[in-house]
A and B are shown apart, each in its own frame.
Chain A
Amino acid sequence: MGMENVIELRGVSKALKAFTIDNMNLQIKQGYVTGFIGANGAGKSTTMKLIMNLLQPDKGKVSVFGLDYANHEKTIKDRIGFVYDSNIFYESLNLKDISRIVAPAYKHWDDKQFKFYVKQFELPLNKAIKKFSKGMQMKASIAIALSHDAELIIMDEPTAGLDPTSRRELLDIFQEVMVDGKRTILFSTHITSDLERIADYIVLIDEGQILFDKPVYELQEQYAIVKGSTELLDADTEAYFIKIERSPNGFQALTKDVAKVKEVFGEHAVIEEASLEEIMFYMKGADHPYD
């Protein structure tokens, strides 16, 4: 069996009032952590809702585990764990009651596992969810998502509102969960340093369009920040860059063709690794982000 796609969006279009996704194609590979990034309002949540069947596409096909929602909704959802960016549990209930509601919905609910995460996250079982801090609510969602042996875990900004220490602990847990190679994690975040820590693939979305879907190592190999004197720039060399910022001291630009830039500019330019944040920053204002 070769590499399988756990999630596949083919030609998906969805028109919402203020926002549209047009002809989106996306594959999420099994056994990997995929980080989903993009500006606020770029379409991350909408895409995730399409994947969860909370929204139905106007056009195109969404399949999860190779199955479609029309015929296999229950099977699919039994195998998905999800974490949304806002609390979706009954606010006045405590975790014990919530687990009583959620557990019977899943075939493979593992109470021992759930108790383990509750302990690990230091969550109180008898306190109403509304008394939880944002971070605790997030941890509660994650504990539930991880307790029914889900093959696919989808999370909308799971690390938002968490302090760096809890974030790191959480990422360690995600990494542990991934060890057997069968699971897949898709999660969106604004904290790109978290992705640099654990993601294998990065999907960047902007204005409802997937700008790229690439393995992290490829991004690191191909993209770079280039600094140099503006004299280096002309119609030919400018084509190597996704976006160029000029200042009196010279230019600073993002390239996705480091090899070429090295070859042409040689020692005349300074070439630095581009962080995900920098890639996002430069691609946002790019004149030709899609080529």
Chain B
Amino acid sequence: MENIVEFKNVTKRFKDFSLENFNLQIKQGYVTGFVGANGAGKSTTMKLMMNLLQADEGEVKIFGMDYAGNEKEIKERMGFVYDSNVFYESLNLKDIRRIVAPAYKNWNDKTFYNYIKIFELPLNKAIKTFSKGMQMKASMAMALSHDAEFIMMDEPTAGLDPVFRRELLDILQELMEDGKRTLFFSTHITSDLERIADYITFIQKGRLLFNDSKEDVQDRYALVKGSTDILNRETEELFIKVERSSYGFQALTNDAREIKALLGDRVMIEEATLEDIMFYAKGAKKQHV
């Protein structure tokens, strides 16, 4: 299995935030979802991936290549969607195509116009008159029209209604069918990831908490409910965070198997959604989730 993206001990420091000693691998042929709180470092990571930022220390490799000397070749094979509109606001899609298309060797006009049709986008209206959803669709059409092997998207589904989100996810799933493409996208709508992601990358305060397959995450993590009698120093070790109330406790574990073996039928074990995991991990004492 090949890694499309590889971060080795990457450090990037800002005034009020830093990414420290960050390691990340994104596997070829899969959809990887990127989650984390606002300000956790998702956009920084993606900008490092696009060489919009350069690492202070460490190595960023895309398609096994360094940006130094291979910038054009790497970007030729990448598609990008940002969470804000990056296209000239006063231009229409026709003109933007005339700027973007010649930049790529593999630009395909037929594919592009096909997406424009599917997305019901007007070609002659200035981008600034587009709604947020339409702007997002326009970015997607650009990103998908040059046969990119790696597509990176920063919150592509933000601001889109559920119906369109579902259509979009279907289109992305279709794209993945030949197994050659890789998709990496960040989102706050975790139900979208539960729908299409194969891997989940979870970042918190500039540190990677996990980067595992969705099945793995589902197997390991669980919500545990029970009476507070069970809690002692030893059992608490099994939980990432414990919330107590007068009825009992509720906690997140990343070792569901051990809990089952140890506490068995004295507790209720429920599946933890990604949202649950994020919620409990936020206030957790242990950071090695």
**Do A's and B's CB atoms come within 8 Å in the complex?**
yes
- Give chain A nearest CB distance to B73 CB in angstroms: 34
Cα–Cα, bound, A192→B36 (Å): 20
- Total interface residues in chain A, CB < 8 Å: 29
* A276 CB within 8 Å of chain B: yes
Of B188, B279, B282, most buried by chain A (CB within 10 Å of CB) is: B188
Contact present for A166 and B191 (CB under 8 Å):
no
Measured between beta carbons, the chain B residues less than 8 angstroms from A41 are 131, 133
Mask for B252-289, Cβ within 8 A of A = 1, else 0?
00000000000000000000001100110010000000
Asked if A61 CB lies within 8 Å of chain B CBs, one says: no
Given A40-B132, A41-B131, A191-B189, answer yes or no on A164-B274 (Cβ-Cβ < 8 Å): yes
Stretch of B74-82, B103-111, B141-149, B162-170 that contacts chain A: B162-170
Q: Smallest CB–CB gap between B163 and chain A, Å?
A: 5
- Contact of A166 with B161 in the complex, beta carbons under 8 Å: no
Q: Apart from A190-B162, A284-B163, list 18 A-B contacts with CB within 8 A.
A: A40-B131, A40-B164, A41-B131, A41-B133, A134-B38, A161-B159, A163-B36, A163-B40, A163-B278, A164-B35, A165-B278, A165-B279, A166-B38, A190-B165, A193-B275, A277-B163, A280-B162, A280-B163
- Name the distance in Å between A274's Cβ and chain B's nearest Cβ: 12
In the bound complex, do residue B163 and residue A39 qualify as a contact, i.e. CB atoms below 8 Å apart? yes
Q: Given the known A-B contacts A193-B191, A277-B166, are A40 and B279 also in contact in the complex, defined by CB atoms under 8 Å?
A: no
What chain A residues lie within 8 Å of B278 (beta carbons)? Answer: 163-165
Is there a chain A Cβ closer than 8 Å to B190's Cβ?
yes
Residue-wise interface mask of A (238-258) relative to B, using a CB-CB cutoff of 8 A (1 in contact, 0 not): 000000000000000000000
B188's partner among A39, A42, A163, A284 (CB-CB below 8 A) is A163
Contact with A along B208-244 (1 / 0, CB 8 A): 0000000000000000000000000000000000000
Q: Give the residue of B35, B132, B161, B191 whose beta carbon is less than 8 angstroms from that of A39.
A: B161
Across chains A and B, which 3 residue pairs bring their CB atoms closest together, nearest first?
A: A164-B275, A40-B133, A277-B162
| A167–B191 CA distance with the chains assembled, in angstroms | 14
Cβ of A74 within 8 Å of any chain B Cβ, yes or no, is no
| Contact partners of A40 in chain B: CB under 8 A | 131-133, 159-161, 164
Among A135, A191, A284, contact of B38 (Cβ-Cβ < 8 Å): A135
Question: Is B37 an interface residue when CB atoms closer than 8 A count as contact?
Answer: yes
- Given A39-B161, A161-B158, A164-B188, the answer on whether A133 and B39 have CB atoms closer than 8 Å is yes
Q: Closest CB of chain B to A155's CB: distance in Å?
A: 15
- B113-138 interface with A by 8 A CB criterion: 131-133
Within 8 Å CB of B159, what residues of A? 40, 157, 160-161, 190
- Give the docked Cα–Cα distance between A96 and B160 (Å): 33
Residue A168, interface by CB 8 Å: yes
Would you call A165 and B163 a contact (CB within 8 A)? no
Q: Is the CB of B166 within 8 A of A281?
A: yes
Give A61 to B270 CA distance when docked, in angstroms. 49
Bound CA–CA A42/B163 (angstroms): 12
Contact mask for chain A residues 155-189; partner B; CB cutoff 8 A; 1 contact, 0 none:
00100111111111000000000000000000000
Is residue A38 contacting chain B, with contact meaning CB distance below 8 A?
yes
A190 touches B161 (CB 8 A): yes
Query: Please, which residues of chain A bring their CB within 8 A of the CB of B188?
Result: 161-164, 167
Across-interface contacts of A192 in B (CB, < 8 A): 162
List the B side residues contacting A281 at CB < 8 Å: 162-163, 166
Chain A 273-286 per-residue mask, 1 if CB under 8 angstroms from chain B, else 0: 00011001100100
Complex alpha-carbon distance, A276 and B166, angstroms: 13
Bound together, the chains give a CA A280 to CA B282 distance in angstroms of 32
Q: Is the CB of A133 within 8 A of B163?
A: no
Interface string of B158-185 (1 = CB under 8 A from A): 1111111110000000000000000000
Contacts of B190 in A (CB 8 A): 164
Which of A167, A191, A193, A284 has the most chain B CB atoms inside 10 A of its CB? A191
Docked-complex contact A165 and B158, CB < 8 angstroms: no
Return the chain A residue nearest B190 by Cβ.
A164
Q: Please, could you name 30 A-B residue pairs with CB atoms under 8 Å apart, sorted by A?
A: A37-B162, A39-B161, A40-B159, A40-B161, A41-B131, A41-B133, A42-B161, A133-B38, A134-B38, A136-B38, A161-B158, A161-B159, A162-B188, A163-B38, A163-B40, A163-B278, A164-B188, A164-B275, A165-B275, A165-B278, A165-B282, A167-B188, A190-B159, A190-B161, A190-B165, A191-B189, A193-B275, A277-B166, A280-B161, A284-B163
